[in-house]
Each structure stands twice: as structure tokens, then as C-alpha cells.
Amino acid sequence: MDKRLAQIKADYQQNGYVSGIRIIDEEQAAHHRQVLESAEQKIGPIHYKPKIHTLMSSPYELVTMPSVLDIVEQFIGPDILLYNVTYIIKEPGTNSHVSWHQDLTYWGLSHDDQVSMWLALSPATEESGCMRMVPGSHRHKALPHKITNDADNVLFQGQTVEGVSDEGSVLCPLKPGEASFHHGWTLHNSAPNTSNDRRIGLNVQYIAPHVKQLKQATDSAILVRGVDDYYYYDKDTPASSDLDVDALAKQQELEAHYKSIAATS
């Protein structure tokens, strides 16, 4: 293993996240942002739409880059399923925020061999509401979450771990083209975007093939590296072109199923 990957793995195991990892250059990030914003002009808001890689080729290209999968392999092993891809967008000057939470509390997965990547397509700064992580919190496993009714909370059910202080947490600013990776038990949140630009991130979940969906009988994913000897998941179809009518209908079906899983206790 090269020294860079070894250090990324060690930092991740220690803190439950790594941040500031250069994935693409800023010019490439600007291109992928333009692709997103062009798609928005055609079909409307794309913020928080699950399985967007089945509708657009740009996100699928980014999340399956060998350099990205080399990093993911350090965390969950050589066999990798792509579980979900979604854009998370905070518009400037809005109250949209993300409360303190742990991802794995609502996905219904049997094991925690999972990692999320958050790839910045615009500056993610303290002003624009970048993520804040609690180092080492992944070791606590599941914490109690409260479902809240907060229209400004980006999370689907506003799920919140109460009583978490910013003291001891670490801001994770990202330049366009940089990414963070975090464990599903790592506590994280983000504040509103008070900047003059959109805060655009591509949020991605990878899981190992032995990780099973427990909430419902069916779920879907794509094998992007290695082998899958378990066959727990229906196969998502990656976009071969952008905004195909049939793919849009399928994405809407997948979105409904994804939300039904998240809503099931």
C-alpha cells in the first residue's frame, strides 16, 4: 500500500473521517457543476434526489473513479457496492442546515462496513455551511435520535442527536474538487449557507456486499469493484445518457423506495 493511502486509512480509523482529499481539480469540478446546473434547468431541482447516478452520467463517472475506489477500499475492503448518490445543495442566504446525526441510524443496514464520500463542486467553507465532525464519535456506535419537524433541516426526517456541543468538533472545509470520507456512526452536522454562492456537494454511500438491507425485502445497488457473492441487492442501472425519460421514471421509483426505507422505524 502506498504511504498516502496508508495515512488516509490510519486517520480514518482514528477519527472516523478524513477530509481535504483532492479528487479532481477545480476546473473539472466547475465542469461537473455546470452539468448539474444544466440538468436543473431542464428538470427542476435535483437537491437530495436519491440514486441520481441512474439518471445522470456525470455523478456516476465521479464516484467510480479508480482513485476514489482505491480510497474506499481502505475502509471497507476490495469488494465495493455503490449504494446511493445524491446532490446536497444549500442555496445562499437560506436557513437550510443539517442537525447532529449519524447516517447509519436510518438506512436499515445490517453491518457498518460503509463509508460516505462528500465531494465539493463549489466552495464548502464555514460561511457556506461546510460539515462539522466529532472525531472518534464512530466508536460510540448508535446513539439515540429524535425525529423533528423542522422544514429547514435537510435531513429527510430531521433526525437529531440532542445535546451535542460544537466544542471538540472539527470543521471540514473543502475546495471544489476536494472530498471528505466519513463513517456511518460519525457524528456530523452543518450550518446554514450565509455566503453568496451555492454550496454544492455530491454525497455518496458505498457498502460491502455482505451488508444487508433489514428494513425491507428489496433494495438496490451496483457492484463497482471486486465481487459480490451475496446477491442481496437488485442491480441499479447507471445512466448511459443524461435525463433519459425511462431513466427518470425509474429514478422516481427508486426515490420512493429509498424514502420508504428511511421512514420505516
Strands 234-235 and 220-225, sheet pairing: parallel
User: Which residue in this structure is represented by grid cell 476514489?
Assistant: 68
Cα 82-180-129 angle, rounded to 5 deg? 115
- Residues 63-102 have pLDDT tens digits of 999 999 999 999 999 999 999 999 999 999 999 998 999 9
Looking at residue 265, what is its pLDDT? 60
pLDDT at 154: 83
Predicted pLDDT of residue 1: 62
Query: Could you give the CA distance from residue 122 to residue 107 in angstroms, rounded to a whole number?
Result: 27
Chain centroid to Cα 144, Å, comes to: 21
The CATH class for the domain spanning 3-263 reads: mainly beta
The single-letter DSSP state of residue 237 is -
Q: Where are the alpha helices (DSSP H) in 64-194?
A: 66-76
Q: How many CB atoms lie within 10 A of CB 158?
A: 18
pTM: 0.96
Is 88 in a helix, a strand, or coil? strand
Domain ranges of the chain: 3-263
- What is the structure's pLDDT at 197? 97
Alpha helices for 16-163 (secondary structure H)? 26-43, 57-63, 66-76
Instruction: pLDDT tens for the chain, 265 residues: list them.
Output: 699 999 999 999 999 999 999 999 999 999 999 999 999 999 999 999 999 999 999 999 999 999 999 999 999 999 999 999 999 999 999 999 989 999 998 899 999 999 999 999 999 999 999 999 999 999 998 888 888 888 888 887 778 888 898 888 999 999 999 999 999 999 999 999 999 999 999 999 999 999 999 999 999 999 999 999 999 999 999 998 999 999 999 999 999 998 888 776 6
pLDDT for 58 equals: 98
